Amino acid sequence: MSKYLLKAREFTISPTNESDIWESKWNIVHKESEKIIGWVSFEGHKEAGTIPFSIWLEEGYRDR
Average pLDDT, the chain: 88
Q: Is the pLDDT of residue 49 over 90?
A: no
Q: Which amino acid is at 47?
A: E
pLDDT average, residue stretch 2-28: 89
Q: Is the pLDDT of residue 46 over 90?
A: no
Q: Is the pLDDT of residue 24 over 70?
A: yes
Strand partners, 29: 12, 36
In this structure, what is the dihedral angle of CA atoms 42, 46, 17, 11, given to the nearest 10 degrees? -40
Do 30 and 39 form a contact (C-beta atoms < 8 A)?
Answer: no
Residue 51 CB contacts under 8 Å (≥ 6 apart), including other chains: 42
Which pLDDT does position 47 carry in this prediction? Answer: 78
